[in-house]
């Protein structure tokens, strides 16, 4: 029984997978935050371009 417990304590295979999971979760959070921050600016740029084209009498697809 003592050997079984010592083997479980020394087994590090699961730790690597947990670390990869944490890294993937952090990357996902950063990616979502970046899309939210940049998304508004890109949307604003498209809206201002559309408004400028409409004021100048240019064609705006609907």
* Residue 8, in any domain of the structure: no
Rounded to whole angstroms, what are the CA distances from 52 to 8, 14, 38, 40? Answer: 67, 57, 21, 18
How far apart CA 61 and CA 46 sit, in angstroms, is: 13
What pLDDT is stored for residue 40 in this prediction? 84
* Residue 2, in any domain of the structure: no
* Residue 9, in any domain of the structure: no
**Is pLDDT of 24 > 90?**
yes
* Residue 52, in any domain of the structure: yes
How many domains is the chain partitioned into structurally? 1
* Residue 7, in any domain of the structure: no
- The domain in which residue 31 lies consists of 19-62
* Residue 46, in any domain of the structure: yes
Q: List, for residues 25-46, the tens digit of each pLDDT value.
A: 999 999 999 999 998 888 888 8
């Amino acid at each position: 029984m003592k050997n079984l417990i010592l083997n479980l304590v020394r087994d590090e295979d699961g730790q690597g997978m947990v670390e990869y999971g944490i890294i993937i979760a952090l990357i996902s959070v950063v990616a979502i935050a970046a899309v939210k921050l940049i998304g508004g600016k890109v949307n604003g740029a498209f809206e201002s371009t559309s408004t400028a084209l409409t004021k100048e009498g240019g064609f705006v697809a609907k």
